[in-house]
Chain A
């Protein structure tokens, strides 16, 4: 069975601070995908990034960066120089490898609520 754990339920930082959101996963699959989604106060779920299990290269997109470490089953998300607009709930999710005949249901972590104060 797959499982995603986001141990930090809530984080509060002051604007311009760096913040790291932790994500630890469990899966028996050797091929899988990891995701981060953002849920702002308006409620929608916004896709941020996808990583496959064969690609452990870290990724940077503007102020966002992701650190994937298979050895520790972690896929952490860092926001550099946080801004008030980053305030949201962030979800880490996992799906098994795709099969042409099967869907890939997402298993979500419980989410981390990030509050960035001015």
Chain B
């Protein structure tokens, strides 16, 4: 079975540009999570969805960040405009509601110059 798929795997952009990260959860999973990993803050939850509905976005740093889940098989995390401090690895994870384990994608390594 395919795991969580994220694209792109690497992204280098300049400050001020819009960045869109994409995630395809595991088929049949109906909870989706976006995490960010930095050296300073470790792994932190940004937002999560249940059945395509955002449940908790309290971890989203600021209004420059937005996330959508238009259907059960696709989610995006957008940063507009991007800033150097947004440089991090962004992970997407999915879980089946009723299950306990989140499975992570390979991550997107973002570098904002």
Q: A91 vs B42: C-alpha distance in the bound complex, in angstroms?
A: 10
Q: Does B43 contact A103, Cβ atoms closer than 8 Å?
A: no
Residue-by-residue, is A76-102 near B (CB-CB < 8 Å gives 1, otherwise 0)? 000000000000000100010010111
Residue total for B at the interface (Cβ-Cβ under 8 A): 27
Question: Which residues of B have CB within 8 Å of A70?
Answer: none
Binding site secondary structure of chain B: strand
Chain B residue, CB-CB nearest to A107: B45
Q: Does B109 contact A43, Cβ atoms closer than 8 Å?
A: yes
Q: Does B100 contact A33, Cβ atoms closer than 8 Å?
A: yes
Q: Does A44 contact B31, Cβ atoms closer than 8 Å?
A: no
Question: Which residues of B have CB within 8 Å of A98?
Answer: 97-98, 100
Decide yes or no whether A14 CB sits under 8 A from chain B: no
Question: Which residues of A have CB within 8 Å of B91?
Answer: 45
Q: Does A47 contact B101, Cβ atoms closer than 8 Å?
A: yes
Q: A108 vs B33: C-alpha distance in the bound complex, in angstroms?
A: 14
Chain A residues 54 to 89 lying within 8 A of chain B, measured CB to CB, are none
Q: A90 vs B48: C-alpha distance in the bound complex, in angstroms?
A: 23
Q: A47 vs B56: C-alpha distance in the bound complex, in angstroms?
A: 23
Chain B residue, CB-CB nearest to A39: B37
Decide yes or no whether B25 CB sits under 8 A from chain A: no
Distance from A22 Cβ to chain B, minimum over Cβ atoms (Å):
16
Residue-by-residue, is B91-106 near A (CB-CB < 8 Å gives 1, otherwise 0)? 1010101101111111
Please tell me which one of the listed residues B33, B42, B101, B105 contacts residue A105 in the complex, with CB atoms under 8 A apart: B33
Seen from chain B, the residues whose Cβ lies within 8 Å of a Cβ on chain A are: 31, 33, 35, 42-45, 48-50, 55-56, 89, 91, 93, 95, 97-98, 100-107, 109
